[in-house]
Amino acid sequence: MTQSSLWQDNKQNNDFAEICNALYERELRLLANAEITTAKGVQGRLKSLSHYINRTANLMIRVNEQKHSPLALDVQNATWSAKQSSHLPLAGEEDSVISSWYLALLNNVNKPILGLVAPVLVDDHIIVDCIDGLDLDKNRIRTNVSGWFSLTPLPEQTTANVNARRLLKPNKKVMLAACAGHRWQHHQSTTKLRPVIPSLRELLLSCAINWKDFKQPLAL
């Protein structure tokens, strides 16, 4: 082992420890405030916590080292950072464009859609979600957190309710905003708000984004 490789290993170990500490602190705070009525529920959450925290920390370090992601790793806070756009990046996110993009994936047997990291608009920010269900008969897809989305909206369905969750088509600007937790006061506002910290699950999914091809998920 050379001196340079030893230094690199030490840095990796230090980064891993810092990320794990930040994740544990955050998750235990969430657990302390969660509405869990049974000890068994708390035990179940705690039992799997170390696995997901270790996995997330390892993957975040790997993604950062590979330099394939435009995100910058904030080791002390266990988050991603990126320059925030002046407004919510919804250009090219018309309903017809979004529907056509996902329908094309449904009909393309050579491109796996299950497991695809998908962005979802929630109020003033975008979250990182994952496609885990398909309904080919009704042209619907389901994301793990946000539920079902119809790709052929009925005439009575409108986007008047701006607070409703809305499936978006992934692109670089959208995914940067989602992974970094960027927020804006209103959809069309240029007033930036303090970023929200993505959940542990979102951070794990962020490591599966293929920034060169948003139709192709990476294996975690």
Residue 86 within a domain: no
- Distance, in Å, from the CA atom of 72 to the CA atom of 63, rounded to the nearest integer, reads 10
Helix 39-66 to helix 3-33 angle, to the nearest 10 degrees? 150
The whole domain housing 112 covers: 95-206
Confidence of residue 45 (pLDDT cuts 50, 70, 90): confident
Do 63 and 166 belong to one domain? no
Do 110 and 40 belong to one domain? no
Do 36 and 112 belong to one domain? no
Share of the chain above pLDDT 70, in %: 86
Do 71 and 152 belong to one domain? no
Residue 216 within a domain: no
Average model confidence (pLDDT) for the chain? Answer: 86
Range in 16-20, 164-168, 176-180 with the lowest mean pLDDT: 164-168
List, in order, residues 6 or more apart from 218 with CB less than 8 Å away. Answer: 207, 208, 209, 210
Do 100 and 194 belong to one domain? yes
The last residue of a domain, from among 19, 43, 78: 78
Count structural domains, the chain. 2
Range in 46-50, 66-70, 177-181, 205-209 with the lowest mean pLDDT: 46-50
List, in order, residues 6 or more apart from 71 with CB less than 8 Å away. Answer: 63, 64, 80, 81, 82, 176, 179, 180, 206
What is the tens place of the pLDDT at every residue in 100-129? 999 998 887 677 789 999 999 998 899 999
Question: What number of CA atoms fall less than 13 Å from residue 68's CA on the CB side?
Answer: 15
Our measurement of the distance from residue 118's CA atom to the centroid of its chain's CA atoms, rounded to an integer in Å, reads 8
Do 195 and 152 belong to one domain? yes
Q: Are 208 and 220 in contact (CB under 8 A)?
A: yes
pTM for the full predicted model: 0.86
User: What pLDDT score does 164 carry?
Assistant: 78
User: What pLDDT score does 13 carry?
Assistant: 84
User: What pLDDT score does 10 carry?
Assistant: 63
Do 51 and 124 belong to one domain? no
Work out the average pLDDT over 40-52.
82
